[in-house]
């Protein structure tokens, strides 16, 4: 015979198992769509390769939502803006989008110094971001 405490235990266990299942699917989806950019690209060739993965990195970050390392990877795909002329309108729009993704990355993972370094680089090249690059550079150290 089952007592009320048995039913409460089974219900609690079922709810926790469901939450664990949802979390597993959430982690698996973001990992499967992750492009694998594990650090800030540091040369022009690497930035071109990472820029081609911009859409995949963005969707992995959107799925991961609160995972700062995924937002950082998405922001790293904008490192190609450091090697192009900041004069065109499309580059300025891309810099604004990069700033939004950098803000997400810094909001969820402020300990990542390479994100601060990318922010400092973009702020020094694109005056439209209206921020002081020296503050971001200080934070990278």
- Which of 10-19, 78-87, 104-113 tops mean pLDDT? 10-19
How would DSSP label each residue in the chain? ---HHHHHHHHHHHHHHHHHHHHHHHHHHHHHT-----S---SHHHHHHHHTTHHHHHHHHHHHTT-HHHHHHHHHTTGGGGSS-TTSHHHHHHHHHHHHHHHHHHHH-TT-HHHHHHHHHHHHH-GGG-S-HHHHHHHH-
Q: Is the pLDDT of residue 90 over 90?
A: no
Question: pTM of the predicted model, to two decimals?
Answer: 0.80
Mean pLDDT, all residues of the chain? 86
pLDDT of residue 81: 87
Q: Is the pLDDT of residue 51 over 90?
A: no
Tens-digit pLDDT profile for residues 116-134? 899 988 888 887 666 778 7
């Amino acid at each position: 015979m089952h007592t009320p405490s048995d039913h409460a235990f089974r219900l609690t266990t079922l709810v926790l198992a469901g939450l664990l299942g949802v979390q597993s699917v959430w982690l698996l989806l973001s990992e499967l769509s992750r492009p694998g950019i594990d650090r800030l690209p540091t040369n022009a060739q690497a930035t071109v390769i990472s820029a081609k993965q911009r859409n995949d990195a963005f969707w992995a970050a959107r799925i991961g939502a609160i995972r700062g390392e995924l937002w950082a990877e998405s922001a790293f795909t904008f490192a190609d803006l450091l090697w192009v002329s900041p004069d065109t309108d499309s580059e300025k729009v891309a810099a604004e989008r990069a700033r939004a993704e950098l803000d997400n990355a810094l909001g969820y993972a402020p300990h990542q110094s390479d994100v601060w370094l990318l922010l400092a680089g973009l702020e020094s090249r694109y005056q439209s971001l209206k921020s002081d690059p020296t503050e971001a550079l200080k934070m990278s150290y």
